Structure 1
Amino acid sequence: MDFSGTLSILLAMSITCVLLLSLWKRKNWSNLPPGPTPLPFLGNMLQVEVKELIKSLRKLSETYGPMYTFYLGSRPCVVLSGYKVLKEALIDKAEEFSGRGDFPAVQMWSNGNGIVYGTGERWRQLRRFAIATFKNFGMGKRSMEERIKEEAQVLVAEFRKTEGKPFDPTFFLSCAGSNIICTLVFGERFEYTDEKFLVLLNLINSNWKLMSSTWGQEKNNPHTHFNEETMSKTTVNLFFAGTETVSSTLRYGLLILLRHPEIEAKLHEEIDRVIGSHRSPCMEDRSRMPYMDAVLHEIQRFADIVPMGVPHTVTRDIEFRGYTLPEGMNIIPLLCTAQADPTQFKNPDCFDPSHFLDENGRFRRNDAFMAFSAGKRVCLGESLAIMELFIFLTSILQSFTLQALVPPAEIDLSPESSGLGSIPRPYQFCLLPR
């Protein structure tokens, strides 16, 4: 092919791309927030580091502001960054931003089903049902607290078997967290060596069918949202959320305390003063342990296990901050930017429990804390997770002193990966009986 033929082809391709881009931009998205210029079909994906997606999205907010448009392929999304805009959207306009957005990693499996990924009337009914069922099974009540206390003692007993030798806590923490959900769903816990329980842990991201007839009043109702598929996918949501988030937070928390032994020492002092060594921690202790409460909140803020939550959509056409967001517009809430907002936290890049303490050492809430999301889509199991985190971590520190295998200053607290979730780096440590 001669030079003129090649030039003609390149010219035609260029004109085609310009026309496609022009048509694309002329769709019903004329009053969206500004953002980086997308490429046809590819959108803005070549302008971010996929392995550092959260970091890339935060970097773009420095250029385009707290609200900007980002194209995932040919579909636009609106990214929200910073406490102020997140509050305005998720809390002040909670209903309008309560839709569930596309989540490609699970959409093919979930098909918009279940509590986490569902939307519309199905989601509302499932959420009401789950809340009522959880209450009936004791969530938020003393009966559930007793179950968590029992599991905490099993966890401590398993830790004692390590006999002060180096080990990775991941398996034990996953077992403990998953067992709490097992008591809610199946009415019983499992030994950590139970083969069926181990299979359950290994398949926690897979679908399985419940051996129950909870929906058997509903099977002949063609309009019901309570059917086998819906209930099984809802159960998977509960197991994943109840196992992975709590165990990852505890795993990150122990690593942080290994990095900051002076904070561990203060926690030991508070535990010894308030609880002592002869009884198990309980939730009544929490109000008398402001430092532990502050440390747990700071672990969740700093570890940032779910930095962007799950995408939302707007449920109707709305005007927001001078822009028009059409119904169904995908919203990416960067929850991490609220928890690292320098206007809300004096030292956001460092682990600092004083972020949640007043000048008198009393626990102080901060509205920018969004570890459980906010608004209509706030985490269903927030109260259960808080109970688990407090009782598990307090029980561990009541019984053991943490010992790192390297000097504390050499411990790397940066996540192993940070995309839809932040995963702590693998590590081993020793537990010395107190």
Structure 2
Amino acid sequence: MWLDSFLLSLDFKSIALFLVLFILIADYVKNRNPPNYPPGPRALPLLGNFFDSDPKFPHLSFFKLAEIYGNVFSFRFGSEKLVFVCGYKMVKEALVNQADIFVDRPFSPMADRFYSSTGGGLFMSNGEKWKKQRRFALSTLRSFGLGKGTMEQCIREEIQYLQEEIQSHKGEPFRPAGLFNNAVSNIICQLVMGKRFDYSDDRFQTMLHYLTETLYLQGTIWAQLYESFAWLMKLLPGPHNRMFEDGVKIHEFISEEVENHKKDLEPSNPRDYIDSFIIEMKNNKDSDAGFDETNLAYCAMDLFLAGTETTSTSLQWTLIYLIKHPEVQEKVQEEIDSVIGQNRLPTMADRANLPYTDAVVHEIQRIGNIVPLNGMRMASKDTTLGGYFIPKGTSIMPLLHSVLFDKTEWETPDMFNPGHFLDKDGKFIKRDSLLPFSAGKRVCLGEGLAKMELFLFIVGLLQKFSFYVLDGEELRTDGVTGTIRVPHPFKVCAKVR
């Protein structure tokens, strides 16, 4: 054949040049953009825009790209293309005004392996399965107190355990991260498993370690590499493998709890989410709804992943900013003392009478920037954003960092300023551009619980203690960015008031 003869006649350099040209042309053909596609930095063949992203602070590098290319711009991780959506107005346009178009998740090699190719769980499922699982989770968790007085009472009881643990350090420096993880996770445990764990429970502590490590690794460069080059990363050693190993261990922990629930289940009297799911498994014959034992473990795992680290990390940022701004800490304590005193535990009914404290809680959610990126979405049909054409199947990434630090929405976006949430008379005002829990149909289903936890825990802690660091210690605010942006490890001292 003429092609065989042609190839045989080439020397090594010619063959190498031919292969390079072939790769370049194939990459161009595969990745060329349609007319009026969002602009973006020039991508390298095969590698895409990897070198345009800062692996330590990816959200900041994307924020800078938005200043260059606009609030809708394109980007490539390897051969995977996505569109970043930035700024409050544009993120709202995508997630709220076009909610039906941008409701599904795109395919993710990492999630495909993490969820054992089931497409399950609450976070990564799509279509009718996602709708039914989310509806079931919301109705079930509400029936066990989500957003109600019974859940509020659980949090108030956990405040007492947390206060006792902090007081046991007797004013000596301690790391708050682990204690906050214990307290917040116990709230989720009561909803999902119907019980709380002692802070010294080794099995519980091991699971929390796996949760923390998994969420961190999912937001690192290793996860980005896996998403872009899964065929290669599966063969290579590296931290990305721990992410999947940790997922298996968390899955095993929850599966053990499921087995224990089966032993003393009372179908007429479910105690928690696991009980309710097991009962639904028996009653729901729809094979596409996801009511099976494997998906139960994944859904419960998603509740833990989403409901523990975010709130726990917000509490850590609270201590950092209040210690760096002692005048704010003192003003919050004065307000708490005048409304509640130092003996009675706070309730949600107190919030209306604590406007300054409420403003501080909300400003922590803004400047803490817990989830600077977001879960990716996928266009279900052709549409436009910011005047640009978004083809069906395009992955978009709403940049929540750009919303929380939007210069057109916040008076002093780079400063810790509770005044963002106060009017001229000192009354609390709600700001629509505060979107730490995302927005639209995929908004965090635990948003109400998280807000309740933050308010009650923060008031309960400042009611009892004044927090500070030893002389010479300096708290950092740059953070370590994974899926969750967490503070650098730090210690604080707590003085009983």
What is the TM-score with the length of structure 1 in the denominator? Answer: 0.93
Rounded to whole Å, the distance in 2 between the matches of 1:62 and 1:10 is 40
Shift in CA distance, 195/412, structure 1 to aligned 2, threshold 3 Å:
closer
Q: Give the counterpart letter for 1:426 in structure 2.
A: P
Shift in CA distance, 298/107, structure 1 to aligned 2, threshold 3 Å:
farther
Aligned partners of 1:54 and 1:419 also within 8 Å: no
Instruction: Kindly state the Cα deviation for residue 319 of structure 1 after the two structures are TM-superposed.
Output: 3.0
Aligned partners of 2:31 and 2:79 also within 8 Å: no
The secondary structure found in structure 2 opposite 1:117 is coil
Partner of 2:471 in structure 1?
406
2:173 pairs with one of 151, 163, 166: 166
Rounded to whole Å, the distance in 2 between the matches of 1:105 and 1:391 is 36
Partner of 1:384 in structure 2?
449
Instruction: Kindly state the Cα deviation for residue 225 of structure 1 after the two structures are TM-superposed.
Output: 1.8
1:24 matched to 2:30? The reply is yes
The secondary structure found in structure 1 opposite 2:397 is strand
Shift in CA distance, 195/7, structure 1 to aligned 2, threshold 3 Å:
closer
- For structure 1, which segment, 112-121 or 362-371, has the greater mean C-alpha deviation from structure 2 after superposition? 112-121
1:272 matched to 2:327? The reply is no
- For structure 1, which segment, 259-268 or 307-316, has the greater mean C-alpha deviation from structure 2 after superposition? 307-316
Rounded to whole Å, the distance in 2 between the matches of 1:60 and 1:312 is 20
Rounded to whole Å, the distance in 1 between the matches of 2:370 and 2:146 is 23
The secondary structure found in structure 1 opposite 2:282 is coil
2:59 pairs with one of 54, 60, 81: 54
Q: How many residues align?
A: 428
Rounded to whole Å, the distance in 1 between the matches of 2:146 and 2:284 is 28
Instruction: Kindly state the Cα deviation for residue 216 of structure 1 after the two structures are TM-superposed.
Output: 3.4
Q: Give the counterpart letter for 2:496 in structure 1.
A: P
Q: Give the counterpart letter for 2:139 in structure 1.
A: A
Instruction: Kindly state the Cα deviation for residue 423 of structure 1 after the two structures are TM-superposed.
Output: 1.2
Q: Give the counterpart letter for 2:331 in structure 1.
A: K
Instruction: Kindly state the Cα deviation for residue 220 of structure 1 after the two structures are TM-superposed.
Output: 5.7
Aligned partners of 1:149 and 1:280 also within 8 Å: yes
Partner of 2:106 in structure 1?
101
Q: Give the counterpart letter for 1:117 in structure 2.
A: M
Rounded to whole Å, the distance in 1 between the matches of 2:114 and 2:407 is 38
Rounded to whole Å, the distance in 2 between the matches of 1:57 and 1:104 is 22
Shift in CA distance, 18/182, structure 1 to aligned 2, threshold 3 Å:
closer
Partner of 1:282 in structure 2?
347
- For structure 1, which segment, 40-49 or 143-152, has the greater mean C-alpha deviation from structure 2 after superposition? 40-49
Rounded to whole Å, the distance in 2 between the matches of 1:59 and 1:103 is 26
List per-residue Cα deviations over 1:68-111 (Å, max 9, x = no partner): 11112112101011111111111111111111234555442124
Partner of 1:312 in structure 2?
377
The secondary structure found in structure 2 opposite 1:99 is coil
1:117 pairs with one of 124, 135, 160: 124
Shift in CA distance, 276/223, structure 1 to aligned 2, threshold 3 Å:
same
Aligned partners of 1:21 and 1:39 also within 8 Å: no
Partner of 1:425 in structure 2?
488
Aligned partners of 2:102 and 2:378 also within 8 Å: yes
The secondary structure found in structure 2 opposite 1:100 is coil
Aligned partners of 1:413 and 1:424 also within 8 Å: yes
Instruction: Kindly state the Cα deviation for residue 30 of structure 1 after the two structures are TM-superposed.
Output: 4.2
1:301 matched to 2:366? The reply is yes
The secondary structure found in structure 2 opposite 1:69 is strand
Instruction: Kindly state the Cα deviation for residue 120 of structure 1 after the two structures are TM-superposed.
Output: 1.1
1:83 pairs with one of 84, 88, 101: 88
2:432 pairs with one of 352, 367, 383: 367
Partner of 2:230 in structure 1?
none
Q: Give the counterpart letter for 2:192 in structure 1.
A: V
Partner of 1:329 in structure 2?
394
Aligned partners of 1:318 and 1:327 also within 8 Å: yes
Q: How does 1:62-81 map to 2 (within 5 A)?
A: 62-81=67-86
Q: Percent identity?
A: 39
Aligned partners of 2:155 and 2:456 also within 8 Å: yes
Instruction: Kindly state the Cα deviation for residue 315 of structure 1 after the two structures are TM-superposed.
Output: 2.1
Rounded to whole Å, the distance in 2 between the matches of 1:103 and 1:153 is 42
Shift in CA distance, 301/407, structure 1 to aligned 2, threshold 3 Å:
farther
What is the TM-score with the length of structure 2 in the denominator? Answer: 0.82
2:313 pairs with one of 248, 252, 256: 248
- For structure 1, which segment, 203-212 or 393-402, has the greater mean C-alpha deviation from structure 2 after superposition? 203-212
2:201 pairs with one of 194, 205, 227: 194
List per-residue Cα deviations over 1:315-372 (Å, max 9, x = no partner): 2222333333222211111011011001110111111111111111111111111101
Rounded to whole Å, the distance in 2 between the matches of 1:164 and 1:129 is 45
Instruction: Kindly state the Cα deviation for residue 202 of structure 1 after the two structures are TM-superposed.
Output: 3.3
Instruction: Kindly state the Cα deviation for residue 63 of structure 1 after the two structures are TM-superposed.
Output: 1.3
Aligned partners of 2:406 and 2:413 also within 8 Å: yes
Instruction: Kindly state the Cα deviation for residue 48 of structure 1 after the two structures are TM-superposed.
Output: 1.9
Q: Give the counterpart letter for 1:365 in structure 2.
A: K
The secondary structure found in structure 2 opposite 1:114 is coil
Rounded to whole Å, the distance in 2 between the matches of 1:304 and 1:52 is 12
Rounded to whole Å, the distance in 2 between the matches of 1:66 and 1:48 is 17
Partner of 2:156 in structure 1?
149
Rounded to whole Å, the distance in 1 between the matches of 2:397 and 2:293 is 30
1:235 pairs with one of 297, 300, 307: 300
Aligned partners of 2:166 and 2:494 also within 8 Å: yes
Shift in CA distance, 48/405, structure 1 to aligned 2, threshold 3 Å:
same
Aligned partners of 1:44 and 1:70 also within 8 Å: yes
- For structure 1, which segment, 29-38 or 92-101, has the greater mean C-alpha deviation from structure 2 after superposition? 29-38
The secondary structure found in structure 1 opposite 2:81 is strand
Shift in CA distance, 185/261, structure 1 to aligned 2, threshold 3 Å:
same
Q: How does 1:335-350 map to 2 (within 5 A)?
A: 335-350=400-415
Rounded to whole Å, the distance in 2 between the matches of 1:292 and 1:89 is 32
- For structure 1, which segment, 377-386 or 15-24, has the greater mean C-alpha deviation from structure 2 after superposition? 15-24
Rounded to whole Å, the distance in 1 between the matches of 2:98 and 2:193 is 37
Q: Give the counterpart letter for 2:475 in structure 1.
A: I
List per-residue Cα deviations over 1:34-93 (Å, max 9, x = no partner): 111222221111222222211111111111110011112112101011111111111111
Shift in CA distance, 288/104, structure 1 to aligned 2, threshold 3 Å:
farther
Rounded to whole Å, the distance in 1 between the matches of 2:313 and 2:335 is 24
Q: How does 1:29-48 map to 2 (within 5 A)?
A: 29-48=34-53
1:135 matched to 2:129? The reply is no
